[in-house]
Structure formats: C-alpha cells, structure tokens
Structure 1
Amino acid sequence: MARRQTPAYAWPVHLVRPQTGQRLVYLDLNHWISLAKAATGHRTGGPYQPALTAVRDAARSGLYLFPLSLTHYMEMSGIQDPRQRADIAAVMEEVSGFTTLLARSHIARLEVEAALDQMFATGSPHIADIELLGHGIGHAMGMRGGLHIRSGSVDVTDKTRAEWPKGPAAFDLMLANANAHVERSVLRGPTDAEVPGLKANGWDPTVARRIAENRAEAERQQAERLDNDPQYWNRLRDVVRVRYMTLEIIEMLVRALVDRGRDLDEVATSRESIRAFADSMPSADVHTTLVEVAHRNRQRSWEPNDIFDIDALSVAVPYCDIVVTERYASHVLHSAHLPRGMKTEVVPRLKDLTAWLDRQ
C-alpha cells in the first residue's frame, strides 16, 4: 500500500494522560481469551502461561496499566457461554482493575478541537480536560461512572457518607464493594439462571452485535458502490476520509467551528486541506487506514468483528504504549508505518508482549 509521510498529528492537549509514567498495554479480546485459558488450566492454555505470569507481574508492579475499552464490553456480550465469559472477566478484572479507556466519540471530539487549533493556530480554552483513563463501563461510554445515592433527583451520596452509622470509611468500603459487583456483573454478563428475568425486563444481549452488523452492512454497500464506480479506486483514501468525516465527526466539527466563529469552507479549501485535516487526527488516521485497506481487499467480506477491531484500534494505537492485536491488523498498521509515527508498539502475539516487557 502506498503511504504518504507521517502527518503532523494534532494531539489533543485536553486529553489528560497518566501523569505517573505508567505504560499502557492494550490487548485484543482474543488475547484476553488466551490468558483466561492459561488461568483456568484449559487444555490449550499451556503456551500462554508465560505470558499470563508476565502480565500479572507487570500489573502488580504498578508500572503498567492494562485498560479495557468499550469494544471489550461489546464483544463480551456476544459470547454465549456464561462460564467462558466469567473466566475471561475474572482475568480482565484481576489485570485491569476495571481501568478503561475513554469513549472513542469523546476522543474524536477532542481531536477535532485540536485539529482546528492546529489549522487556525488558536487555542480551545472553552474545552474542559478529560482523563484518558477512568474506571468502569461508565467511563468507557463517556459517562460519569460509579454508584451514587439519590433521593428523588438529588444526589445525597456525600450526606449519606457523613451520616453513615459505622463512619465514612465503612461507607466507602460498602460503596467500593457495590461498585465492583456492578462492574463485574456488567463485564461477565448474566448467568443462565439470570437471563429469563433480565429478558423479561427488556435486556437484549444482541444489541452491540446488531449495531456492528448494521455498520458492516453499510460498508458492504459502500464496496458495491465502489465496484460500480471504478474511477474512485484510485482515490479510495479520499473517499474513506470524506465518508469518515461525514458519518463520524461532522456534527462535532460544525459545533467547534461555530464556537470559533469559523466556517466549514475554511477547512475544506481544497482536496489537500481536507486530507491534511483528516489525517492530523490520530484516531481518524488509524480508522481511515484500516477501512481503506479492508476495501482494497475485495475478496474480504465485512463482518461485525471488523467494526469492533477498527473501533478499538482507532483508540488503542494512538494512545497506548503497546497494542497486542491479531496478525492481519498488525501487518496493515506496520505497512502504513502508523506504529512508528505514533511511537506505539504493535505486535500480533502474547509472546511479543512478554519480550517487550522483558526489555523495559
């Protein structure tokens, strides 16, 4: 794949990274599954035992964090076997401590702001800082997480804590245990015995995959349009860029422009300006590259897992120190020189992660 030079990335200054020097390690779900096999003594888990030991040691050292993403939660919900979900969730909880990456949409918004600041040589003082890392499913969805005590519409958590019969420390412990139970339940999903009651109350475990299937179908339709208009194959990356901007960021882009008293025409002054703007956003560059290559492989049919992978890697590759993904994605990213440009290690095997940890 022909590849332009590494763009001048507009790293969002309002996305707050860990200040403690910890390294961020992102594992695709298939690698979490391998670690779970090692942890449970599965007959195929033996080869992954060294990696499990290395990952546990790294997590316990406090020098490495192993964050989950919203994609992990979505993919976990599609695993039908409750025992398998519980085994995977147990390793995830042990290693990650329910540390999660910020929602992709929130990161995209901050990248849009940063890209405009870079383009117009301005600042974004009206944008509040947001932590890249947080705790639990709430942060992964871009919402305020954690349990709170409410009386009607009023948050009375602090008042309840101050008046707790056994004291504030006991209240904190109770709330922490309750939060851990909720996070554990969300990640592992329901047991077979819990399913009927949940479904009776409207629970639907297929939602995430159906959304991904709808998006995969949209890409299949896009592939058909490309086949019907061969002229666009020579400008496929441009097509993918514009489609990303139209479907993913146009609303946040327009709002950010209005805040600055600017107009969309000032961004789209030429084909080159659109390219530079889109590629300056790190997660957009990863997304565009993966989608472009997927469309160039005309023998490959789009599946929901492709959507999950692209969403996850769009955040993990720019903002983690090492990403352990599957072999195909690793090859595509390295062919495009993205790991080098983003100063991120991208590897396809757990043994590669073990070697990386040994070198640190």
Structure 2
Amino acid sequence: MAAEYGSQPLALSNATADLASATRSRLDFETDFIEILQNPQHRQFRTERLRDAVSARELTHEWLDAFNAELHSVGASMEDVMGGGRESALAFAESMPSTRVTISMKCSYHRNPQRSWSMNDVHDIDAASAAVAYCDAVLTDKHVWNAVTTARELQPMQTFMPRKPEQLGEWLDQIP
C-alpha cells in the first residue's frame, strides 16, 4: 500500500500520534497520583480511602467533560443525576461495570507504593475493564488476574478468570 500511495496517510499518522499522546497523558495521571499518595498529608488515602480517591479521580479525569456537556444540553446538573455527597457519587461510579473494574484495578495497583506504572498498565486496564465487565471468561496475565480476582467488589460479575489456557479450554468444552 505504501508503494502505491506513498508514505503513511497523514490522518493515520495523526491518529497514531494522538493515541500515543493520550496514553502518555493517562500514564502521567497515574504517576502524578503516586506522588500525591506519597505525600504524608495524604497518607490516609492509600491506607483508608484509596477507593474513594481513585473513584473521584476516575470520574473527573475520564467522565467529567462528557457528563457536563450532556447535562448542559438537557439543562441538568451533576447533583440532579448523582444527588449530593460522597455515597451517591461512589454509587454512580460503581453503577458502570467497566468503570468499577477500572477503579478496582487502579486501587490494586496503587495499594503497592513500590509499583512502577507503565504504558502497558494503562492498556491492560482498558482491555480488562471491558472484558471483565462484559465477557463470560477472560484469560490474561498474572498482574491483571491478581488485581481482578482479589477484588471482592468484582465477584458479582462472575467472570471466569482461568490462570492457564488449558483451564479456559476445559471451561469452553463444558459449554453445551
């Protein structure tokens, strides 16, 4: 195709650059959070209120602009949708299955102060949040497997998470 059309189409080059930049921005967002958690003033977030902090950051970073635009278009406010207070905002975040998985995985990763985040972590969370929330079975690496299977709040999803491909094969063989 390159020989026929010359170099890579500009639109594809721009899209690739935009994706790399967005992924980098999301990685920076998580590494910035590590610095916040390391601050002695914010120690309670890692030890007592990590899920609250991760949920709030997830909602504001990933959803706030889209929510505000939609709410504005119908003349509503965040309070109209979520009610007031921490509990209703958390319930709202938890009501979106893929967001629940994302928050759970980020909590698992941020619980370890020595963890170094990578671009692969961002991609893993993106893939697992959709797969675990909406698929019957997910085969993944040990880091994702551990983050998902140890999260009690994800157990109601009942996603089969085999550790080995053979286990997935056995599971598939049992499907009528």
Q: Does 1:250 align with 2:64?
A: yes
In 2, Cα distance between the equivalents of 1:311 and 1:201? 24
Give the residue type in structure 2 aligned to 1:319.
Answer: Y
In 2, Cα distance between the equivalents of 1:256 and 1:200? 31
In 1, Cα distance between the equivalents of 2:119 and 2:22? 8
Higher relative contact order (CA 8 A, sep 6+): 1
| Equivalenced residues, count | 169
Contact persistence 2:26–2:122 (CA under 8 A):
yes
Which residue is 1:225 aligned to?
A: 36
What are the ranges of 5 or more consecutive residues in structure 2 without an aligned counterpart? none
Q: CA RMSD in A?
A: 2.7
Within the candidate set 100, 121, 125, 1:310 is matched to: 125
Q: Trace 1:296-335 onto structure 2 (pairs within 5 A).
A: 296-335=111-150
Instruction: Determine which structure has more spread, i.e. the larger CA radius of gyration.
Output: 1
Compute the TM-score of the two structures, normalised by the length of structure 2: 0.82
Q: Does 1:263 align with 2:86?
A: no
In 1, Cα distance between the equivalents of 2:15 and 2:168? 32
In 2, Cα distance between the equivalents of 1:247 and 1:328? 24
- Which has the larger strand fraction? 1
Which residue is 1:346 aligned to?
A: 161
Which residue is 2:7 aligned to?
A: 197
Cα distance change, pair 310–200 in 1 and its aligned pair in 2 (3 A): closer
Contact persistence 2:50–2:107 (CA under 8 A):
yes
**Offset at residue 340 of structure 1 (A):** 3.2
State percent identity of aligned pairs. Answer: 34
Contact persistence 1:339–1:346 (CA under 8 A):
no
Deviating above 4 A after TM superposition, structure 1's stretches of 4 or more consecutive aligned residues are 199-202, 258-261
Within the candidate set 50, 53, 56, 1:239 is matched to: 53
Contact persistence 2:104–2:151 (CA under 8 A):
yes
In 1, Cα distance between the equivalents of 2:99 and 2:10? 40
**Offset at residue 209 of structure 1 (A):** 3.8
SS of 1:298's equivalent? coil
Cα distance change, pair 309–296 in 1 and its aligned pair in 2 (3 A): same
